Amino acid sequence: MTTADIYDHIAESAPREDQLQKVRAAVAEVIEKRQLKSDLEERLKRVNKEIAVAQHETLPAIFNEARCDGLKLPPEGNRPGYEATKEPYFKANISAEWPIERQEKGFLWLAEEGHSDIIKTIITIELGRGERKIASMIEDWLDRKNIAYSSRLGVAWNTLTAMLRDCYKRNRPLSSDELETIGANVGEVVSIKPLKGD
């Protein structure tokens, strides 16, 4: 193959300008869609925050001012009917992302208040390759086998929330310090649900 043949081959295999234009347009379209996706995600975050503020702050205040615990909105146009109900709101979570000292303070409070039964222990075992059989051993055996492991405490947020709700039902409200200790929020929320049968 001569040098001229090589140049001819390169010229034949190089993309034409119209092909390059098509590639550029396809890449630009994906870039625009990525930007649109990013914009929509930001807008969704903002709208979700606005909904949360309305349901947890604005609507409860308006309902309380009107001395109203609920109301129904009949269907209108294409919109189905809805029922809005003001109710107590409880949520608690000792987050695994908190500093360990703060988590321990929350678990200590639960134990002191007689709720240690909702605390679970998570044990992490570090095993080398080929040691899958050891994984079935229980914690007592780990010390005798000299297998390194770590453990941490945890409580499911919904279990903790149920405990919090129960405290209030038993007329045992928590102080602001206690609420902070277990990552809890107590208040009112207006839930909005479609009317049954619509």
**Residue ranges per structural domain of the chain:** 3-68, 88-194
More confident residue, 150 or 87: 87
Q: Which pairs from 132-136 meet CB under 8 Å and 24+ separation? A: none
**Separation of CA 174 from chain center:** 25
DSSP states along 153-197:
EE--HHHHHHHHHHHHHTT-PPPHHHHHHTTEEEEEEEEEEEPTT
Average pLDDT score over residue span 54-61: 97
Between 27-36, 83-92, 101-110, 115-124, the lowest mean confidence (pLDDT) is in 115-124
CB 190 within 8 A of CB 59: yes
pLDDT above 80: residue 11: no
Q: Is the model's pTM score more than 0.75?
A: no
Q: Rounded to 5 degrees, what are φ and ψ at 191?
A: -90, 140
